[in-house]
Amino acid sequence: MRLVPASILFAALVVPALAQKPLPRQQMPKNGTLATVVREANLYANPDDSGGPIATIVPGRELVVVERNGKWLRVFANTDVPDTRQADRPILGTENEAQPISGWILDKGTVDVNTAHGDLVLFGTADNLEQQAAVPDPPPHLAEEARLLYRRVVIMYPQSPWVPEAMYRAADIRWQIQKADASTLPSAHEKENYLREQMDEDEMHKIQKYFPQTKWADMAAFDLIDNKLCGDWQGSEKCPEQETGYYLKYVDEHPSSPSAAEALYDALWRQAAAGDMWQADGNGKRADEDHGHAKAIFDRLQQKYPDSAYSARAASLIYKVDQGIAVYGSSRE
């Protein structure tokens, strides 16, 4: 999973998280208190564990606490398997079609809407899970659980300053999961973007709708570029040249975005790659034009974002261009 820089993570502490358009009001349960768990919890038929669990509730799953009995809570719980491709609820999407089941859980690791600093507890737990999901070969459930916990922040604490960050992270995790899944399909090798499996854009558009002209809307717009890209270039210079345009347009429209430097680098790499492709096809004039365009993008990157690591990466790439070393295809003589 993509890691979010610490500067973005802690920005919610200092930037008022006020949507410019009000989020849809969430209907609170009438028969109990909205809650979730931050640990895997066993659900029992009775307020004791002698009979063995009837289900398991993963972190982030929606609960309604309807009764307390000592150290036990009677709850209605959603326990179905997460599905990242279902249609959305008003804010973040439908979570399931199955009816919740009733049972008892230990009152341990349960966070409800009245828990002190509950939004921070859920966001922090989600962030830890997201970091764990970023290591090689992580357990597959970690990213899903992080997403669910971010969703709970939005739904349970709509006035929290962490809402826009949580909303973006939930959407981005879903996006990256869908992107990884799409890359395994035969259609991933199609050149035209409309022939490939597309990521569901609805959650990203909701972020742009409710938090326009913010860094969260900027980052959502950057993710959305993925659906415009070619699958396999199939030797066509049109693909990298067209994609260069998408990234340059993004920077023009979102110059303050946390992703702006990355977008310029993505544009630069594609333009350099297109030059190499023209060179391999024996068209030296077009190769020189695209390589020259890549150098112009490098100048812009250095001027606008000199402290970004993408500026250093771009310098390495332009060095290869100047040395006549291919950045796309084989670099061997």
Residue 330 has a pLDDT of 63
Q: H-helix or E-strand containing 68?
A: strand 63-69
Pick the closest to residue 204 from 172, 252, 161, 162 (CA basis): 172
* Ranges in the chain, pLDDT < 50: 1, 3-18, 83-97
Residue 29 has a pLDDT of 80
The token pair at 157 is: 């604490």
Burial (CB count <10 Å: 0-12, 13-18, 19+), residue 267: buried
Residue 86 has a pLDDT of 46
Q: H-helix or E-strand containing 57?
A: strand 55-57
**Phi and psi at residue 245, in whole multiples of 5°?**
-60, -40
How do strand 33-37 and strand 110-112 relate by DSSP bridges? antiparallel
pTM of the model: 0.86
For 29-61, write each residue's pLDDT tens digit: 888 999 999 999 999 999 998 889 999 999 999
- The vertex-179 CA angle with 119 and 7, nearest 5°, equals 40
- Rounded CA gap, 90 and 17, in Å? 19
- Rounded CA gap, 155 and 152, in Å? 5
Could you say which DSSP state residue 100 is in?
P
How do strand 63-69 and strand 41-43 relate by DSSP bridges? unpaired
Residue 99 has a pLDDT of 67
- Rounded CA gap, 19 and 35, in Å? 24
Residue 20 has a pLDDT of 62
How do strand 55-57 and strand 41-43 relate by DSSP bridges? antiparallel
Q: Residue 71 in contact with residue 82, Cβ under 8 Å?
A: no
Reading phi first (left if > 0) and then psi (alpha if -120 to 50, else beta), residue 324 is in: left
